Amino acid sequence: MSTGPDVVVSGSTATRQRLRALIRKEARQLLRDQSNVLVGIALPVILILIFGYGLSFDVKNMPVAVVMEDASPTAQDVVSGFYLSPYFTPIPLASLHDAEQLMLARKVDGILYLRSDFSRRLAGGNATIQLLVNGVDANRGRIMQGYARGAIAQWAAKHASTGTANPAGAVTIEQRLWFNEANNSTHFLVPGLIVLIMTLIGALLTALVMAREWERGTLEALFVTPVRATEILIGKIVPYFGLGLIGLMLCLLAAKLLFAVPVRGSLLLILLASMMYLLVSLAIGLLISAAVKNQFLASQIALITGFLPALMLSGFIFDLRSLPLAVRTISHVMPATYYVELLQTLFLAGNVWPLIVRDCAVLAFFAVVLLALARINTRKELD
Amino acid sequence: MRDSLHRILILCRKELLAILKDPRSRIVLFVPAILQSLIFGYAATYDLNMVPYAVLDQDHSAASRDLIAQIEGSGIFRRVAQLQAPPQIAPTINRKQALLVLHIGQGFERALAAGDSAPVQLVLDGRNSNTAATASGYISTIVESFNARWQREHGGSAAPLHLEMRAWYNPNLETRWNMIPSLIAALSMLQTLMLTALSVAREREQGTFDQLLVTPLRPREIMVGKAVPSICIGLVQSSAILLVSLLWFRIPFAGSFLTLYASLLMFTTASVGIGLAISAFSATMQQAMLYTFVLLMPMMLLSGLTSPIGNMPEVMQYLTLVNPLRYAIEMVQRIYLEGVGFAWIVNDLWPLGLIAAVTLPTAAWLFRHRLA
């Protein structure tokens, strides 16, 4: 080493040396156990594949039973909209009873039912089509109702333009879906996935590893050496930070190459925000382990305070604006909420500065406070 | 036989003591399950209310005001801004002040009165395209009823055809009704799996497992003794969430408790089997927990909890066939909401039985054949 031969080792040089040694030790420890590498590298890959290819809110080909007691050309014409729609896979059936059996067996998600007097009543201007949906999956049921309404409205429009014109006008909606013109749910799931992976590597992995050291007393062995508590923490944070960055890179590459998610904002900001959030979740992990010093408890608490809120409460899947005040308040003290908003905006909308500045400030605040708390809770003392 | 039972009982008692002796473990096993089912019951919903929206009305006519009044009166939307010019739309959406902007152009009323189609523009924030689609659906419903009324009042014939919609088992199509029953299975699995995964690994790490192996207990007895306490804890957790669902959210229970508990027992046994196999395979607690987690995440995501299995590509749908949670969620939802009996859930029960029949003996075999 070139630190001057017989100069007394100054305080800062000693710190640097101890840090380097600690980081090397932690990195080796991290890489030696294959289960760590599994969580750090393999799990992100698995999740990327699941999120990119597995999860989808874009409903297509919903099986629907079609029961037509009236087989007139008019009735056929009305129902043809369902046959042409990419959203439905109609299954023609002879009786309502058969259809109900299929619905019970979950072979169809809904039943479209035309009574025998359908075309007679349509001529009279007052016909009804019945749509029964299986409400057990409420979201799917509602989507189905929406598409069915669309199919009927289309028929009505065609009918109006060819035949009896309607003397009174009608409002039509021209819809513009900003930021996600193709209405592809992968575009918002992939940014959300990055949040999950950062939470996982940060909070869960560190909580576990540190709790293990507390539990087994290996931290105490470190305490008798000259290293300071701050140095121990930095030695822990650096390798896991590196692992988190690898996970981030995997996600970004997959987003770009596999799923073609647009990056409309600055990539640099995405990286910066992710690093801040990674620090936040590392700090949460350290804090949890220092507080409970037990692997089972640490993993449970990391799961309950880190992973589940990131999935359910962060606005990643469920919209936050419709929540009751109390639950919304909880979601607003979760760092993940701000990170989700940042990523969805940076990926899909672009550099919306007022939003970015606010969310980054909040994340930075969380990072500083939580790291300080973790430092306070990691003292060189025995209990 | 009786000796064997006696030994198993003693082991069960010891396991329960080991889990429940720490007051913090007692708390962490029961309080979060209840709290989470409460919070997620409110949070995990695709239904929208108080949707913030903005209006850009360039027509200033009776008709445009009437349309806005209908949206306002629906109780779903909350107006946050009244825009004056089109350039204001972008910042309103970008900053997330409003989820949607309704733009009524000039000549709206004139077009309506002339019997033409009168377009309104609906700009939606697609950052979460699922939410946007739901909100857009609400707006179309409102516009449809506006049209019907307008045509009635202005001498048009009413639409000749209308769609009458009904939903089985969940008349108002509330997401909560399917979410909470799924949580009965999902939340309890999360914890029982981890708890079980640690049970053998902890003893391995602390060196007490070797002692257990030299006692008269046979591997199969150790397996049962380790599984039963976890199954009990899992069932108690499920019951706690069931109570939240029945008493707090008051979601009507259509089925029979016997069917529900029988299927929960089968499910918990299968997931405990997976946990034990992982535990017997791992050398340390840390490994056990990380392996569990690597399994848990895909299981949660590919279970139909957050996005329907029917939407997944076929290959992924095959993958869900080995996921116990997939069957459990389907069973619990069907028993809870549809009130079906055993005949309809056999197809969910036997795969669970199969999973348990494979994992539990594997765990017992691993006890002896994988000495750390």
CA dihedral A206, A208, A213, A215 (to 10 degrees): 150
Name the residue facing A352 among B95, B155, B171 (closest C-beta): B95
Answer for the pair B192, B240: CB distance below 8 angstroms, yes or no. Answer: no
Across the interface, of B40, B291, B307, the residue whose CB is closest to A57 is: B307
Following CA atoms B154, B157, B158, B162 in sequence, which dihedral angle do they give, to the nearest 10 degrees?
Answer: -150
Collapse the DSSP code of A297 into the 3-class scheme (helix H, G, I; strand E, B; otherwise coil) and give the result. helix
Q: Looking at this protein, which amino acid is placed at residue A302?
A: A
> A229-274: per-residue pLDDT in tens?
888 888 889 999 999 999 899 999 988 888 888 889 999 999 999 9
Q: Exposed (0-12), middle (13-18) or buried (19+): which is B2, by Cβ within 10 Å?
A: exposed
In 3D space, the residue among A68, A72, A60, A81 whose CA is nearest the CA of residue A157 turns out to be A81
More confident residue, B224 or A164: B224
Q: Which residue has the higher pLDDT, A272 or A107?
A: A272
Chain A: give the shortest CA distance to residue B198, in Å: 8
Determine contact, residues B70/B145, Cβ cutoff 8 Å.
yes
Alpha helices in B116-256 (DSSP H): 129-153, 175-206, 208-214, 219-243
On chain A, the residues whose CB falls within 8 A of the CB of B174 are 138
Contact B154 A53 (CB under 8 A): no
Predicted confidence (pLDDT) at residue A19 exceeds the cutoff of 70:
yes
- Token pair recorded at residue A300: 């449970």
Q: What does each C-alpha distance from B342 to B33, B177, B257, B258, B347 come to in angstroms?
A: 27, 21, 12, 10, 10
* pLDDT for the residue numbered A5: 47
- Judge whether residue A188 has pLDDT over 70: yes
- CA pair distance A135, A110, nearest whole angstrom: 9
The segment with the largest mean pLDDT, out of A39-43, A276-280, A314-318, is A276-280
**What are the pLDDT tens digits along chain B (372 aa)?**
788 899 999 999 998 998 888 888 888 888 888 888 888 888 888 888 889 999 999 999 999 999 999 999 988 899 999 999 999 999 999 888 999 999 999 989 998 888 888 889 999 998 888 888 888 888 988 988 888 888 778 766 656 677 788 888 888 888 889 889 999 999 999 889 988 998 888 888 888 888 888 888 888 899 999 999 999 999 999 999 999 999 999 999 999 999 999 999 999 999 999 999 999 999 888 889 888 988 988 898 888 887 888 778 888 888 899 999 999 999 999 999 989 999 889 999 999 999 999 999 999 999 888 754
Query: What pLDDT, on the 0 to 100 scale, is given for residue B158?
Result: 58
In 3-state terms, what secondary structure has residue B128?
A: helix
pLDDT digits (tens, 9 = 90+) for A53-95: 877 777 778 899 999 998 888 888 888 888 988 889 999 998 9
Cβ within 8 Å, pair A136-B334: yes
pLDDT at A322: 78
The four Cα atoms B258, B259, B260, B264 give a dihedral, to 10 degrees, of 100
User: Which of A142, A185, A323 would you mutate first to test chain B, the one with the most B CBs within 10 A?
Assistant: A142
Question: Phi/psi of residue B125, each to 5°?
Answer: -80, 110
* Contact at CB, A122 and B160, closer than 8 angstroms: yes
Whole-number pLDDT of residue B284: 87
Its pTM stands at: 0.84
What value does the mean pLDDT take over residues A9-25? 82
Whether the per-residue pLDDT at A166 is higher than 80: the answer is: no
Contact: B163, A136; criterion CB under 8 Å: no
Instruction: Give residue-wise pLDDT tens across range A278-311.
Output: 999 999 999 998 888 888 888 888 888 888 888 8
Chain B neighbors of A300, CB-CB under 8 A: 28, 32, 191, 194
Most A CBs within 10 Å: which of B173, B182, B317, as the mutation test of the A interface?
Answer: B173
Nearest-Cα residue of chain A relative to residue B123: A176
d(CA B219, CA B364): 5
Size of interface A-B (CB pairs under 8 A): 366
- Model ipTM value: 0.82
CA distance B364 to chain A (A): 22
Q: Which residues in chain B are closer than 8 Å to A354, comparing Cβ atoms?
A: 95
Residue whose tokens read 């490994």 = B287
Q: In what order do the strands lie in the sheet with A62-68?
A: A88-93, A62-68, A110-114, A127-134, B161-168
| 3-class secondary structure, A176 | strand
Most A CBs within 10 Å, among B248, B290, B319, to test the A interface: B290
DSSP letter for each residue of A334-372: -HHHHHHHHHHIIIII---HHHHHHHHHHHHHHHHHHHH
Which one of B132, B157, B164 has the shortest CB-CB distance to A177? Answer: B132
A88 close to A62: Cβ distance less than 8 angstroms: yes
Q: How many CA atoms within 13 Å lie on the side-chain side of A356?
A: 21
Scanning the structure block, which residue is given the tokens 């995405």? A270
Beta strand residue intervals within chain B, DSSP E: 51-57, 77-83, 100-104, 117-125, 161-168
Instruction: Please give the share of chain A, as a percent, with pLDDT higher than 90.
Output: 21
Q: What residue in A sits closest to B50 (Cα-Cα)?
A: A322
Whole-Å CA distances, B154 to A262, A351, B114, B147, B148: 47, 47, 11, 10, 10
Please state, in angstroms and rounded to a whole number, the distance separating the CA atoms of residues B121 and B83: 14
DSSP state string for B226-260: HHHHHHHHHHHHHHHHHHIIIIIS-PPP-S-HHHH
- Pick among A218, A319, A358 to test the B interface (most B CBs inside 10 A): A319
Length of chain A: 383
Query: Are B127 and A180 in contact (CB < 8 Å)?
Result: yes
Q: Is the pLDDT of residue A23 over 50?
A: yes
Of the two residues A11 and B137, the one the predictor is more confident about is B137
